[in-house]
Amino acid sequence: MTPPPDVPDERVRAERALCGLVNGLAQRIGDHLREHAAGLGLTAAQATALRELDGPLTMRELAGRMSCEPSNATFVVDRLERQGLVERRAHPTDRRARHLVLTPAGTGLRERLLDLLAADSPLAGLGPERRLALQELLEQALARP
């Protein structure tokens, strides 16, 4: 016998609970990023861009990592460039594209940001093995179409 439509079955309750936990964690990570970004005189978007610039990237690649449209990433990079934190350089193989590269000041600020984010991360309570397990589970969930 199936439960009445207004009584969610265990699968629905479990799905809702898991989604709530993932959303809660995402909110805590976002709050954590915003707090430390503000302390460094950055917006959350600028901090996200700095965090993701771990090597030369095109605007499209950075936008993908930031989960935003390239036009939004361009706005953020324009501000970082005016602050002397990022430069646009010629792409080595594509004349139409530019590579975004951190300046020495940008590299230093990125390192400070990463240290702050790691020091009291919402994930700090998880040991390395559990973090890896969580990462693998999230990657598996995100890989599904």
pLDDT score of 83: 97
Which residue would you say has higher pLDDT here, 10 or 50?
50
pLDDT score of 144: 83
Contact 59, 73 (CB under 8 A): yes
pLDDT band at 2 (very low <50, low <70, confident <90, very high): low
* pLDDT at 48 > cutoff 90: yes
Q: Beta strand pairing status for 98-102 and 86-90?
A: antiparallel
Taking residues 53-77, report their average pLDDT.
Answer: 95
* pLDDT at 5 > cutoff 70: no
Residues 6+ apart with CB under 8 A from 80: 46, 49, 50, 86, 106
pLDDT score of 1: 58
Question: What CA–CA distances, in Å, run from 100 to 11, 63, 81, 92, 95?
Answer: 45, 11, 10, 12, 14
Helix H segments across 53-127?
59-66, 70-82, 104-119
